Chains A and B, each alone.
Chain A
């Protein structure tokens, strides 16, 4: 996990202009760099600047911006209102952990007036692409998903703070599908597999209770990564 860091600095780094999603009259600037754990700059990473409450009494207006890093990994947000912000970054389609989803204590920055704030590098850690395959030997899944609304298999990972990271579909073929999420190493996780309208079984053939689903505890250790986790659709659940 990354540690909280608050900065109130000025700097002069060049970076692409940021896009505001919710505008607020403001003039601050935030600059920084995104790099991997080996301190190599990451280009084309998406960096988010999200407002947070500065204290219990604070009631900020919603404000968040995103920008892409340049070839040197640098970024810059302009027109930032006064307030406290967190910064997080992601490099989609990579094996780097999305710090916006996983970092419970992302670096934060306070912007005041027109000050330019230069933040230390945001480091994206290498994660593990956790892959789950749903074997569907009879093709029940694709048929039933079309036939019955709500029928499907829920796959996701509970983070240590109780947030839910759904696994994204990698591909689908007539006899199964594979899902994936990049998860951090050395972090206690719970993999959720839950069928709805389907009888789902784990790798040992044990049926999974659809009401609870299977919540598989996982801690991914470097060098001891799990193989592809498989479940099987054993049929359609009777109404």
Chain B
């Protein structure tokens, strides 16, 4: 156990601040005394600053906020007394607020928390996650972003502070009067814990006690069930799952007092009311008076079939001023046939009797397979019982059925359009899926489907998500690909498209039919569409880089003589036929149109008329090697 002792706090301190100085002194004295008495106890880890600082106030009042100074002084004082004991604080943050408690965005929380940590030097910041109180709190689906912000603040502050979460395990039930904070269900708590797991290194649970919220403890049946669920969910290795085996019928011997009889319609020991929800009515209890029982009451219950039994519990009460006492002894026997009985166990370990009303469970644990359970109570004065529970091994649950749903179920896309599909997996904690498509047209990455750049004909693609937990289960959506209607890219004209000279500035015009021009190639050749003994120029629009083909004696030697960015000063690249002057070349990009202006000179040794061909690609299609003109080298 790790114990953090709370600091002193008074109403005057909280409301007016008049006792700050005195409290600071008292806290130091008390801490010193505790350390003298228990300082070496390994459980005593440090101190808990009980003032509930709202980060919303820190935002509103800024760096001079007295609450921040209060905590800073507390931490400083405790460190002076013993620097090894750590100081904790469970601050509050609200997403929405008003007045002096303005709402906080994650970014704002990060900012104010950074300064707050640097000022206070608190060792453990354990913000209340707000999931129970709800009002103004960040919703569960935003909890991660707020804790991520505080984790970032923790890192930025560089104070060595660690971040925990105060997990609110209660729930605000507006339908309950007065204090209305009964325990939360385990599934919500599971969400709270897991939503922020990447950002915190510890959790503290926070639940209302009976003094603050009677609803939290006046539900003995429900509270027991929740307790079992909590334990089996979070520590299953120690607390295997068990369930209440329904009691089909029971008989009491002797019968209850006629003043507090059982109900013939809803037998009280199996009605699951736990005796009702307050201490003022005994309507859900059956009472036995010693004058009629002789101090022994026997309840025989029938489970309807042989079951594996692990525990038998009875809910009784103590209310001494009314003559009601706890059972002195509870003995449990079991039987498969109702005739031959075996001892299951017994207990006299009930809490002490109380003057005022209090409920208490008596529990007997063991291992047995039986249909009948017989509980024998010995008692004095009045014995009151309200519930009989038989816990056992749950009947094997049906194997969870994994199902996968993919959304959207259908979508129509044209070329290059994308659609993010999402998969919802139920029936397993492993929600990972493997994406696939059929036929393989376009691309699919983590559910993001992108249509191909060209769709020659209408087509349907099935996008499928297959459960990794159960590969036999999958869900699917369909993509209806709409046929492309875009024209291919246009190449030409070349300007001039004929002429004579050893050098010239040529322009080559192109226009994308779909998307944008990706690349352009120009070929001057004396022997048709081949690079051999030609001048091939490649230009790529994404980086304005161009290359000139190198001389190649054989196909194995095809290569680029050099690459450079068009317009680069002083750069020329040559082969035996031509030279590209990069500095005096440029590109004009105008929407889907790209005009390549190339300053070319030719070797006199390559005289004669050369045909000029072009090729280009846009985002979807390619046009390859139409003849665009000729040029004569003298």
Tell me the minimal C-beta distance from B609 to chain A in angstroms.
7
Answer whether residue B628 sits at the interface, using C-beta atoms and an 8 A cutoff.
yes
Residues of B within 8 A of A161 (CB): 529-532, 555
**Proximity string of chain B (111-147) to chain A, C-beta cutoff 8 Å, 1 when within and 0 when not:** 0000000000000000000000000000000000000
- Flag if A22 contacts B443 (CB, 8 Å): no
- Flag if A64 contacts B627 (CB, 8 Å): yes
Tell me the minimal C-beta distance from A60 to chain B in angstroms.
7
- Flag if B488 contacts A46 (CB, 8 Å): yes
Tell me the minimal C-beta distance from A213 to chain B in angstroms.
8
Answer whether residue A170 sits at the interface, using C-beta atoms and an 8 A cutoff.
yes
Answer whether residue B421 sits at the interface, using C-beta atoms and an 8 A cutoff.
no
- Flag if B544 contacts A92 (CB, 8 Å): no
- Flag if B624 contacts A162 (CB, 8 Å): no
**Which residue of the partner chain A has the closest CB to B632?**
A59
- Flag if B627 contacts A90 (CB, 8 Å): no
Which chain B residues (454-505) contact chain A, with CB distance < 8 Å?
Answer: 454-457, 483-484, 487-488, 490-494, 497-498
- Flag if A152 contacts B518 (CB, 8 Å): no
Answer whether residue A62 sits at the interface, using C-beta atoms and an 8 A cutoff.
yes
Tell me the minimal C-beta distance from A176 to chain B in angstroms.
11
The answer to whether A171 and B443 touch (CB under 8 A), given A62-B627, A145-B543, A152-B545, is yes
A190–B552 Cα distance when bound, in Å, is: 13
**Proximity string of chain A (15-58) to chain B, C-beta cutoff 8 Å, 1 when within and 0 when not:** 00001011000000000000000000001111010111100000
Answer whether residue B445 sits at the interface, using C-beta atoms and an 8 A cutoff.
yes
A28–B488 Cα distance when bound, in Å, is: 23
Answer whether residue B558 sits at the interface, using C-beta atoms and an 8 A cutoff.
yes
Answer whether residue A168 sits at the interface, using C-beta atoms and an 8 A cutoff.
yes
Which chain B residues (518-556) contact chain A, with CB distance < 8 Å?
Answer: 518-519, 521, 523, 528-532, 534, 536, 538, 540, 542-545, 549, 552, 555-556
- Flag if B630 contacts A59 (CB, 8 Å): yes
Answer whether residue A212 sits at the interface, using C-beta atoms and an 8 A cutoff.
yes
The answer to whether A168 and B617 touch (CB under 8 A), given A150-B564, A162-B552, A163-B530, is yes
Answer whether residue B559 sits at the interface, using C-beta atoms and an 8 A cutoff.
yes
Answer whether residue B453 sits at the interface, using C-beta atoms and an 8 A cutoff.
yes
User: Which of B542, B545, B627 touches A52 (beta carbons < 8 Å)?
Assistant: B627
Which chain A residues (152-191) contact chain B, with CB distance < 8 Å?
Answer: 152, 154, 158, 160-164, 166, 168, 170-171, 173, 188, 190
Answer whether residue A91 sits at the interface, using C-beta atoms and an 8 A cutoff.
yes
A60–B559 Cα distance when bound, in Å, is: 31
Say which one of A94-102, A134-142, A221-229 lies at the interface with B: A94-102
User: Which of B441, B493, B622, B623 touches A22 (beta carbons < 8 Å)?
Assistant: B493
A164–B523 Cα distance when bound, in Å, is: 11
A53–B630 Cα distance when bound, in Å, is: 10
Answer whether residue B54 sits at the interface, using C-beta atoms and an 8 A cutoff.
no
A60–B494 Cα distance when bound, in Å, is: 14
- Flag if B445 contacts A162 (CB, 8 Å): no
Tell me the minimal C-beta distance from A220 to chain B in angstroms.
16
- Flag if A170 contacts B443 (CB, 8 Å): yes
The answer to whether A173 and B445 touch (CB under 8 A), given A92-B453, A161-B530, A190-B556, is yes
- Flag if A163 contacts B545 (CB, 8 Å): no
Answer whether residue A66 sits at the interface, using C-beta atoms and an 8 A cutoff.
yes
Interface size class of B (residues with CB under 8 A): 35 or more
Answer whether residue A126 sits at the interface, using C-beta atoms and an 8 A cutoff.
no
- Flag if A88 contacts B487 (CB, 8 Å): no
A43–B617 Cα distance when bound, in Å, is: 21
Answer whether residue A133 sits at the interface, using C-beta atoms and an 8 A cutoff.
no
Tell me the minimal C-beta distance from A170 to chain B in angstroms.
6
Residues of A within 8 A of B549 (CB): 162, 164
Answer whether residue B67 sits at the interface, using C-beta atoms and an 8 A cutoff.
no
The answer to whether A48 and B626 touch (CB under 8 A), given A149-B565, A170-B443, is yes
Which chain A residues (180-217) contact chain B, with CB distance < 8 Å?
Answer: 188, 190, 192, 194, 196, 212-213, 215, 217
Tell me the minimal C-beta distance from B200 to chain A in angstroms.
27
Query: Of A91, A152, A163, A196, which is in contact with the most chain B CB atoms at under 10 Å from its CB?
Result: A163
Answer whether residue B563 sits at the interface, using C-beta atoms and an 8 A cutoff.
yes
Answer whether residue A104 sits at the interface, using C-beta atoms and an 8 A cutoff.
yes
- Flag if B624 contacts A98 (CB, 8 Å): yes
- Flag if A62 contacts B543 (CB, 8 Å): no
Residues of B within 8 A of A22 (CB): 492-493, 628
User: Which of B457, B529, B544, B560 touches A149 (beta carbons < 8 Å)?
Assistant: B544
Which chain B residues (234-285) contact chain A, with CB distance < 8 Å?
Answer: none
User: Which of B450, B484, B555, B622 touches A162 (beta carbons < 8 Å)?
Assistant: B555
Tell me the minimal C-beta distance from A192 to chain B in angstroms.
8
Residues of A within 8 A of B457 (CB): 43-44
Answer whether residue B611 sits at the interface, using C-beta atoms and an 8 A cutoff.
yes
- Flag if B445 contacts A164 (CB, 8 Å): no
**Which residue of the partner chain A has the closest CB to B567?**
A149
- Flag if A164 contacts B521 (CB, 8 Å): yes
Answer whether residue B629 sits at the interface, using C-beta atoms and an 8 A cutoff.
yes
Residues of B within 8 A of A44 (CB): 456-457, 483-484
A163–B617 Cα distance when bound, in Å, is: 14
User: Which of A100, A173, A196 touches B625 (beta carbons < 8 Å)?
Assistant: A100
Residues of B within 8 A of A149 (CB): 543-545, 565
Tell me the minimal C-beta distance from B539 to chain A in angstroms.
11
**Proximity string of chain A (56-91) to chain B, C-beta cutoff 8 Å, 1 when within and 0 when not:** 000110111010000000000000000000001011
Which chain B residues (70-117) contact chain A, with CB distance < 8 Å?
Answer: none
**Which residue of the partner chain A has the closest CB to B514?**
A92
Tell me the minimal C-beta distance from A20 to chain B in angstroms.
11
A238–B627 Cα distance when bound, in Å, is: 42
A161–B552 Cα distance when bound, in Å, is: 11
Answer whether residue B169 sits at the interface, using C-beta atoms and an 8 A cutoff.
no
A192–B550 Cα distance when bound, in Å, is: 14
- Flag if A19 contacts B487 (CB, 8 Å): yes
Query: Of A19, A21, A48, A92, which is in contact with the most chain B CB atoms at under 10 Å from its CB?
Result: A92
Residues of A within 8 A of B (CB): 19, 21-22, 43-46, 48, 50-53, 59-60, 62-64, 66, 88, 90-94, 98, 100-101, 104, 145, 149-152, 154, 158, 160-164, 166, 168, 170-171, 173, 188, 190, 192, 194, 196, 212-213, 215, 217
24 A-B residue pairings within 8 Å (CB atoms): A19-B487, A22-B492, A43-B456, A51-B626, A62-B493, A62-B497, A62-B627, A63-B627, A92-B453, A93-B441, A93-B454, A94-B456, A104-B530, A150-B543, A150-B545, A150-B565, A162-B549, A162-B555, A162-B558, A163-B615, A164-B558, A196-B563, A213-B560, A215-B559
Residues of B within 8 A of A (CB): 441, 443, 445, 450, 452-457, 483-484, 487-488, 490-494, 497-498, 518-519, 521, 523, 528-532, 534, 536, 538, 540, 542-545, 549, 552, 555-556, 558-560, 563-565, 609, 611, 615, 617, 620-630
Q: Other than the known A161-B532, A194-B560, A217-B556, what 20 A-B pairs have Cβ atoms closer than 8 Å?
A: A22-B492, A43-B457, A44-B456, A46-B488, A46-B621, A59-B630, A64-B492, A93-B454, A152-B545, A161-B530, A163-B529, A163-B625, A164-B549, A166-B538, A170-B443, A171-B450, A188-B555, A190-B555, A213-B560, A215-B559
